[in-house]
Structure 1
Amino acid sequence: MTVRVLVADDHEAIRFGLTTILGHADGIEVVGEAADGAAAVRQARALRPDVTLMDVRMPGTDGITATRELVAEGLSQVLVLTTFDLDEYVQGALRAGAAGFLLKSIEAPRLIEAVKLVAAGEGVLAPQVTRRLITAFAAAAPQQAPVPHGFGDLTEREREVLGCLGEGLSNAQIGTRLYIGETTVKTHVSRVLAKLDLRSRVQAAILAQENGLTRENAGAADLRERP
């Protein structure tokens, strides 16, 4: 399957570089470009890309606002790519529903891999961003967080999958830990997102961390497949 990508960045030279990198990658097709958030939303409505590569700071409608619109309308997965790794941008983008957050210093092979992962329903975060998020969650008091809406509707297995998402595990890693197939993992992830009214697995990870639902917080429970 070819991944259709929309590139949104207000700098023409950067757009050219990104479209060149992605356009020459196997399995990726750049279907459009946008110089601001509003144009990205219009382009996404017309072109229906699989992934929108979104800058944060753009004139007019910024990338976070545009991400929120794209995700709310179900137009595209969003992978934020920016020069700035400020906490307000990271958390704003992820809470808006972005499936990932990377820095423009990323090497081309990793960018190509990230686009394909996001298209496949995975989440990706720059390593330095991941470390900061984990530190922030560790400093929080999960016992004071309200019970997420829809949490009571989750099955035991879905709660285990949610905890794995909170640890940043991929579908393959979740399958290995829980002794279930990757296709089954994808089904559980989809159900978790639907029941919790979330737009991306990264949002689910944030919720899991904030509410202390990861293995580290839950104790050394045996998460293997029950007979």
Structure 2
Amino acid sequence: MKRINFYRLFLYLIFSLFMLPLSAQETNVMVRAKAKDAKFIGTSIGGAKILVKNALTGKILANGVTSGSTGNTDKIMKQDWKRSENLSEDDTAGFNATLDIDEPTFVTIEVYAPINKKQAEVMSSTQLWIIPGKDITGDGVVLEVPGFVVDILSPQTHERIDSKETIELKANIVLMCGCPITKDGIWDANQYEVKAIVKDSEGGIKEIALEQKDKPSTFQTELNLEKGLYEVMIYAYDPVTGNTGLDKTNIIVN
């Protein structure tokens, strides 16, 4: 009887050794945010917020902000891409997420960008399996962020304007990476539709086009308004890529 118990104990110990949980392994995942039809989102515009979550539980496994340059303009915007060729370089913006996982984990990666421009910030996400010890490097996981950053420069929020004055409408508009817009440039102002929608408190609407003139990325026009309360929206639209962006403000015309 004692021999049987000893034999069972021996088998139990051997079985237990094989069933010990795997120790957590440090696994690196490079995450990058790339503006649609443009470059990577990095330090120059404040970066993109990155969240890596366990897709099943929602637990945040890693989080941070992309940092670095927007990348090589010629490589990204002018040259033909080849399969398996990295668009990024050593200094290109990204966030290296370091995960401690002891088993294959299905994750959700969320990108919020650009984080310093709340009126323009959008979320892009994807899901994938992360295998312990199997790093994802190079370009890594690249999430595309569509849109434009539109900042109304004039009129100012809640500005009071005399009805006899000519009102200047002015907006700064860039790609989500901060890339500039100029006539006949890489990001051609002639390709984009930029308009203001001016809505009064009675529901009346005026629409007027803005043009990029002297300063890169700055679109402007002028108009006159009668006395009243107005909401001013300025939008940008690219009919080729479908990129859109908008900012709004309110003014008082006395």
TM-score (norm 2): 0.22
Structure index of larger Rg? 2
Name the structure with the higher strand share.
2
Name the structure with the higher helix share.
1
TM-score (norm 1): 0.24
Q: Which has the higher contact order (CA 8 A, sep 6+)?
A: 2
